[in-house]
Amino acid sequence: MIRILIVDDEKPICDLIDLNLTAAGYQCKSVQDGLEAIDCIEKESFDLVLLDVMLPGADGFDIMEYIRPLKVPVIFITAKDHVRDKVRGLKLGAEDYLVKPFEVLELLARVEVVLRRFHKTEQFLTAGDVTVDLEARKVTRNGRPVVLTNKEYGLLVLFIRNKNVALFKETLYEKVWEDAYLADSRTLELHVQRLRRKMGWEKNLVAVYKVGYRLEI
């Protein structure tokens, strides 16, 4: 399982990130102190570090100097939004720089991109009795193959990667159809209905009032 270290001095932010990354299938550990973060990196193995800049003990830029020789990818997540800070973070070797406040869905997407860049993404996704082989683009339910259209497959992957997270209709449509969402269109709704039937998710893939849909696993 992919292991991610979250380093932020604000525990509510750590908890929010941990909750959503765990729901997406990652294993997380969080710390609120820079020196403690260095100890964790020294003693344990992580596939990715999400790193704040302003920390007690040692700031994020100092920690980055320590991490760089270890070849562990880093995404800065910080309120420091000045261009010079972004440039400094990227020049130190960070893969990405995300400014607070941020959307959880955007964070998940950036995490996925960085892990894929380092060939650390997992080949399989699972949700209950459903398994997705990402490399082969094959879906099985209880070990039996399920035939999906390209759009249904795209929705399936999004829902599994964001288990227990409410996804906006606009986000789902824009990511899968790569087009702007039209409020009067029933295309998304029909595809979700078909996906529910094929996956046996009549009770799991729920509509969220005035938002969109959530896969409850």
Q: Which residues contact 42 (CB under 8 A, 6 or more apart)?
A: none
Q: How far apart are CA 157 and CA 175, in angstroms?
A: 11
What's the pLDDT at 136?
86
Q: Are 215 and 204 in contact (CB under 8 A)?
A: yes
* 124-215, CATH topology level: Arc Repressor Mutant, subunit A (1.10.10)
CB 175: neighbour CB atoms within 10 A?
A: 15
189 closest CA partner among 204, 174, 167, 173: 173
3-state secondary structure 133-159: ECCCCEEEECCEEECCCHHHHHHHHHH
The tokens of 183 are what? 């409020």
Strand partners, 204: none
What's the pLDDT at 24?
77
Q: Which CATH superfamily is domain 3-117 in?
A: Response regulator (3.40.50.2300)
φ, ψ for residue 4 (rounded to 5)? -125, 130
Domain ranges of the chain: 3-117, 124-215
Amino acid at 144: R
The pTM of the full predicted model, rounded to 2 decimals, is 0.62
Chunked in runs of 10, what are the mean pLDDT values of the chain (217 residues)?
Answer: 92 92 86 94 92 93 90 92 91 93 89 85 83 90 95 93 87 86 86 96 94 92
18 closest CA partner among 63, 77, 66, 70: 77
The tokens of 75 are what? 């995404």
